[in-house]
Amino acid sequence: MKFTYIGHAGFKIESDEKTVFVDPWLGAPTAALKMEDIGEADIVLVTHDHGDHGYEEGVQICKKTGATFVAINEIGIQAKSEGGLEKVHTLNIGGSVDIDQVRITLVQAFHSCGRGAPTGFVVTFPSGSFYHAGDTGIFSSMELLRDLYHPDVALLPIGGYYTMDIKQATLATKLLGPKVVIPMHYNTFPVIQADPADFQRAVQEMKLSTEVRVLSPGESTSFP
């Protein structure tokens, strides 16, 4: 799995099987990709309908590439009826769908939204798995996500104000037990300023075996 940080909460994840976009807000002040940069996509995941998580761009990517759109029921229906998409999976929390060799599971998040409910995703390729938390505060059943899905990589917000801060994200890392954690949803706006080096230190001080990998927008890392 190759993870490219688009910026804010957006990622492009490439595997031998598929190319997946999650929350592709290409209009973010920190966004490293523009629509014209996107040539291929197989699956687009949107965690909730707040404007900074790329619903509109996600629909555009699907139209451009023929990718399948996956989101909670109400957002998926909107993508069909208003966005004009045909390849849509309208999951609900706890549900999964297999798209070729990729299994996508919709999981809970604690946040707000306009339609449906806020969510995260667990995505499992033959080569590994990742958890994108979406916008959320910490919740104790993250430990259940570890026991059920064993995500190799966790993508966690650290910016505070709208989501978990560094202290909460550090404990979330302990609950989830991933091999690698990548911080997100910070430094896009003044109210979510955070130093990812502080998160790195906090995880180390907790003596967790998880490796923290900090990416600037446009940077990539691979697992394993």
3-state secondary structure the chain: CEEEEEECCEEEEECCCCEEEECCCCCCCCCCCCHHHCCCCCEEECCCCCHHHCHHHHHHHHHHHCCEEEEEHHHHHHHHHCCCCCCEEEECCCCEEEECCEEEEEEECCCCCCCCCCEEEEEEECCEEEEECCCCCCCCCHHHHHHHHCCCEEEEECCCCCCCCHHHHHHHHHHHCCCEEEEECCCCCHHHCCCHHHHHHHHHHCCCCCEECCCCCCCEEECC
Structure tokens given for 45: 């995941």
State pTM to two decimals.
Answer: 0.98
Query: What structural domains does the chain harbor?
Result: 2-214 (3.60.15.10)
For the chain, residues with pLDDT lower than 50 are: none
Q: Write down the pLDDT at residue 16.
A: 87
